Amino acid sequence: MAFLEISGLRKRFGALEILKGIDLTLDKGGFLVLVGPSGCGKSTLLNTIAGLESISSGDIRIDGHTINDLHPSKRDIAMVFQSYALYPNMSVAQNIAFGMEMRGVPKPQRDKAVADVAKTLKIEHLLSRRPSQLSGGQRQRVAMGRALVRQPRVFLFDEPLSNLDAKLRVDMRVEIKRLHQQTGATIVYVTHDQIEAMTLATRIAVLKDGELQQVGTPNEIYNAPANLFVADFMGSPAMNLLEGRVARANGATKVVLERKDHEPIVIAAPPCADPSKLAEGGKVIFGIRPEAVNDRESIDRNAKSVATFNANVEIVEPAGSDTFVVTHIAGKEVTARMRADADVRVGESHAFAFNLDKAVLFDPQTTRRI
Amino acid sequence: MSAADLVVSAPVREPARHSATTRFVIYGLLVVFALIYIVPLVVMVMTSLKPLDEVTGGNMFALPHHPTFDPWVQAWGEARIGVSETAGIKGYFWNSIKMVVPAVFISTLLGALNGYVLTKWRFPGHKLVFGMMLFACFIPFQSVIIPMAVILGELGAFGNRLIDLTGMSFGFGNPTVNLVIVHVIYGLGFTTLFFRNYYEVFPTELIKAAMIDGAGFFQIFRRILLPNSAPIFIVTVIYQFTNIWNDFLFGSTFAAGDQSPMTVALNNLVNTSTGIVEYNVNMAAAIIAAAPTLLVYIVAGRYFVRGLMAGAVKG
Concatenated DSSP letters for B124-152?
A: TTHHHHHHHHHHHHHS-GGGGHHHHHHHH
Q: Report the C-alpha gap between B210 and B198 in whole angstroms.
A: 19
Q: Report the C-alpha gap between B298 and B88 in whole angstroms.
A: 26
Each residue's pLDDT tens digit, A252-283: 888 888 887 778 888 888 877 777 778 788 88
**Burial class (CB within 10 angstroms; exposed 0-12, middle 13-18, buried 19+) of A329:** buried
Residues 218-247 of B with CB under 8 A from A: 219, 223-224, 227-228
- The minimum CA-CA distance between B227 and chain A, rounded to whole Å, is 6
Q: Report the C-alpha gap between A185 and A151 in whole angstroms.
A: 9
pLDDT band at B2 (very low <50, low <70, confident <90, very high): very low
Across the interface, whether the CB atoms of B212 and A83 are under 8 A apart is answered no
**Burial class (CB within 10 angstroms; exposed 0-12, middle 13-18, buried 19+) of A361:** buried
Starting at the edge strand that comes first in sequence, how are the strands of the sheet with A252-257 ordered?
A: A265-268, A252-257, A240-249, A283-288, A360-362
Q: Report the C-alpha gap between B240 and B79 in whole angstroms.
A: 29
Residue B11 clears pLDDT 60, i.e. is over it: no
Q: Report the C-alpha gap between B69 and A95 in whole angstroms.
A: 56
- DSSP H helices, chain A, are 42-50, 92-102, 107-121, 136-148, 166-183, 194-200, 218-223, 228-233
Amino acid at B5: D
Do strands A4-13 and A293-295 pair parallel, antiparallel, or not at all (unpaired)? unpaired
Percent of chain A with pLDDT over 70: 100
Chain A partners of B209 at a C-beta cutoff of 8 Å? 79, 81, 85, 87, 146
Residue B104, pLDDT score: 96
Picking from B214, B224, B227, the nearest residue to A99 by CB comes out as B214
Picking from A73, A78, A83, the nearest residue to B211 by CB comes out as A73
Task: Tell me the average pLDDT across B170-192.
Answer: 90
Picking from A51, A78, A89, the nearest residue to B228 by CB comes out as A89
Across the interface, whether the CB atoms of B209 and A81 are under 8 A apart is answered yes
Across the interface, whether the CB atoms of B208 and A71 are under 8 A apart is answered no
Average pLDDT, chain B: 86
List residues in chain A touching B: CB distance below 8 A: 50-52, 71-73, 77-79, 81-83, 85, 87-89, 98-99, 102-103, 146
Percent of chain B with pLDDT over 90: 46
Judge contact between B95 and B176, C-beta under 8 A. Answer: yes
Judge contact between A327 and A336, C-beta under 8 A. Answer: yes
- The minimum CA-CA distance between B204 and chain A, rounded to whole Å, is 9
User: CA A270 → CA A66, A274, A293, A349, distances in Å?
Assistant: 44, 9, 14, 25
Q: Of all helices (H) and strands (E), which one includes residue B92?
A: helix B90-120
Domain with residues A4-229, CATH architecture: 3-Layer(aba) Sandwich (3.40)
Residue A166, pLDDT score: 86
Across the interface, whether the CB atoms of B203 and A85 are under 8 A apart is answered yes
Closest-CA residue to B264 (of B57, B86, B95, B30): B95
Query: Hey, do A4-229 and A240-362 end up sharing a CATH topology, with the first three levels equal?
Result: no
- The minimum CA-CA distance between A28 and chain B, rounded to whole Å, is 21
For the domain covering B76-309, report its CATH number. Answer: 1.10.3720.10
Is the complex ipTM higher than 0.90?
no
- Residue B286 C-alpha from the chain's centroid: 16
Across the interface, whether the CB atoms of A78 and B208 are under 8 A apart is answered no
Picking from B211, B214, B228, the nearest residue to A52 by CB comes out as B211
Choice among A54-68, A233-247, A273-287, B33-47 with the minimum mean pLDDT: A273-287
User: CA B144 → CA A185, A252, B100, B138, B202, distances in Å?
Assistant: 63, 92, 20, 12, 35
Which residues pair with residue A13 across a beta bridge? A16
- The minimum CA-CA distance between A204 and chain B, rounded to whole Å, is 25
Three-state DSSP class for residue A147: helix
Across the interface, whether the CB atoms of B211 and A99 are under 8 A apart is answered no
Residue B13 clears pLDDT 70, i.e. is over it: no
Each residue's pLDDT tens digit, A193-248: 888 999 999 999 999 999 999 999 999 999 999 999 999 999 888 899 998 888 88
Half-sphere exposure (Cβ direction) of B21: Cα atoms closer than 13 Å: 4
Closest-CA residue of chain A to B227: A89
Residue B296 clears pLDDT 90, i.e. is over it: no
Residues comprising chain B, all counted: 315
Each residue's pLDDT tens digit, A110-124: 999 999 999 988 899
Choice among A16-25, A264-273, B193-202, B215-224 with the minimum mean pLDDT: A264-273
DSSP type of residue A269: P
Domain ranges within chain A, ordered by starting residue: 4-229, 240-362
Three-state DSSP class for residue B100: helix
Residue B315, pLDDT score: 36
Each residue's pLDDT tens digit, B55-71: 888 788 888 888 888 88
For the domain covering A240-362, report its CATH number. Answer: 2.40.50.140
Residue B85, pLDDT score: 66
Q: Report the C-alpha gap between B207 and B211 in whole angstroms.
A: 6
Three-state DSSP class for residue B102: helix
Three-state DSSP class for residue A309: strand
Closest-CA residue to B261 (of B189, B183, B155): B183
B310 part of contact set with chain A, CB < 8 Å? no
End-to-end CA, chain B: 53
Closest-CA residue to A169 (of A148, A207, A145, A200): A200
Chain A partners of B219 at a C-beta cutoff of 8 Å? 102
Choice among A31-45, A174-188, A287-301, B37-51 with the minimum mean pLDDT: A287-301
Residue B310, pLDDT score: 54
Residue A89 clears pLDDT 50, i.e. is over it: yes
- The minimum CA-CA distance between A212 and chain B, rounded to whole Å, is 26
Across the interface, whether the CB atoms of A50 and B212 are under 8 A apart is answered yes
Across the interface, whether the CB atoms of A73 and B212 are under 8 A apart is answered yes
Residue A48 clears pLDDT 60, i.e. is over it: yes
**Those residues with Cβ within 8 angstroms of residue B309's Cβ, 6 or more apart along the chain or in another chain:** none
Domain ranges within chain B, ordered by starting residue: 14-70, 76-309
- Answer whether 0.90 is exceeded by the pTM: no
Q: Report the C-alpha gap between A214 and A225 in whole angstroms.
A: 8
Tell me the DSSP string of A284-304: EEEEE-GGGEEETTTS-TT-S
pLDDT band at B278 (very low <50, low <70, confident <90, very high): confident
Q: Of all helices (H) and strands (E), which one includes residue A63?
A: none
Each residue's pLDDT tens digit, B105-135: 999 999 999 999 999 998 999 999 999 988 8
